[in-house]
Structure 1
């Protein structure tokens, strides 16, 4: 019998875990697939309706639903990856009896599932908006994909750190989930930073999600004016720091995670 390499075993485990996650997501919930599409669409419709009611829907040169789609889908993706990683150990602890399955494998599998679902939803909604007649062109697709990919690494690194925090302080899980609620507004998902009071900006610029939202939008819209202080270097540094801390703590606490 041919001996399989460690990489091949790892990829096989990831494939099996991805199938398990997909079955768990959609197999027992009849409306699972519909909710995956409905969640971002509901956000877009509700916020657009509010903006129409308040007569504040227009952002010069942009279609507001497209503006929301471009901002909202990545934010929900990054949030879901971070939070899904946070609960992955508890959800898969029975599988750790198999020596091939490590906690890190469950982290990667959940990130793959979330990215696959979000990418599918984004393509469907982008095609629908194009069919309606909105301008959905992406002016710098390579740079846009690069920022999206960097955000995926950032969300994965953030999720690793959340896993370690929850493993030490289980009662912090609810608090960590609630933190993303104000981040939804403070990250410029609904409105660009130019709509925020100027005195808030020095504090808001500490938020890496705000930088990601602006870097994504400036590579999508041809005449979008990026906010002062937005930096690609800042989010790269945040990503590297979180990744170093998360991987370091995982190495120290891997066995404890498997025994939780």
Structure 2
């Protein structure tokens, strides 16, 4: 009997050893994550660009309509001119596109967990994956639209080409990462507390008004400007405009360090929330 037991136990270990030598190697965690992101990216890209026939139209029309509206209002009241050493229309376009980049990351990232609940049945998919993929795709689409606006502006004779391409690109990237931080944090909070999503959507329009997108903040009283500049978004928009217009006079108090403190803080907060409440987010 002892011999039988040994004979029963030894072959499996030999077979297991043989399988480890001849079988495929286990993929690393990074390789699995890349595969998940690639599959989700293709899924999101098809959904954004193919399913909704009007998706591209509205993505281009929204900033164009807003710029046309604001140019019409300004022309009726004051006429066109320079805003702190920057042409008004390019100043408006850069501000709107930068704000829309951040807003899309914040709002679409906020709904990413709920929209991909079915995918969490696969253990390889983590709650942060749909947020990363969705915000990355939105960043690519907004970058394409910005390049389209720059190209059209140059054809129309507008001074919209960035004077410092590296600085403009870094500021654009900073706004994207700030939107990523907001999206990560809000995707967890809005999934756990449904009322937060409604509040954030209602706050998006006031946020547009107080971020210096349509009107220069330098016109505000100093005591009010101090409170408005607690918002990190104007810091990113002003730095983006400085990259486009080298002689642009930024709003007093603009700080790249302050902006990146918010970026790192919200991204860290978002990741911690997803780690802490991972099971609850998947179970919603």
TM-score range, shorter chain: over 0.9
Structure exhibiting the larger radius of gyration computed from Cα positions: 2
Q: Are 1:119 and 2:133 an aligned pair?
A: no
The alpha carbon displacement at 1:167 in A equals 2.4
Q: Matched residues in 2 for 1:108 and 1:138: separation? A: 28
| Aligned alpha-carbon RMSD (Å) | 1.5
**Segment drifting more, 164-173 vs 244-253:** 164-173
SS at match of 2:277: helix
Q: Matched residues in 2 for 1:31 and 1:148: separation? A: 26
Q: Matched residues in 1 for 2:76 and 2:181: separation? A: 39
Partner residue, 1:33: 56
Aligned residues: 260
**Where does 1:89-238 land on structure 2 (aligned, <5 Å)?**
89-238=113-262
Which whole-Å deviations, capped at 9, do the CAs of 1:101-129 have from their partners, x for residues lacking one? 21111011101110111011000110000
What is the TM-score of this pair, normalised by structure 2? 0.87
What is the TM-score of this pair, normalised by structure 1? 0.94
Q: Matched residues in 1 for 2:80 and 2:42: separation? A: 41
Q: Matched residues in 2 for 1:231 and 1:65: separation? A: 24
Gaps of 5+ in 2: 1-23
The alpha carbon displacement at 1:88 in A equals 0.6
Which whole-Å deviations, capped at 9, do the CAs of 1:183-233 have from their partners, x for residues lacking one? 101110112211223331111110000111111111210211112111111
CA contact (8 A) 2:190 2:196 kept: yes
Partner residue, 2:265: 241
**Where does 1:50-69 land on structure 2 (aligned, <5 Å)?**
50-60=73-83, 61-69=85-93
SS at match of 1:58: coil
Q: Matched residues in 2 for 1:134 and 1:27: separation? A: 32
Q: Are 1:46 and 2:69 an aligned pair?
A: yes
Gaps of 5+ in 1: none
CA contact (8 A) 2:131 2:187 kept: no
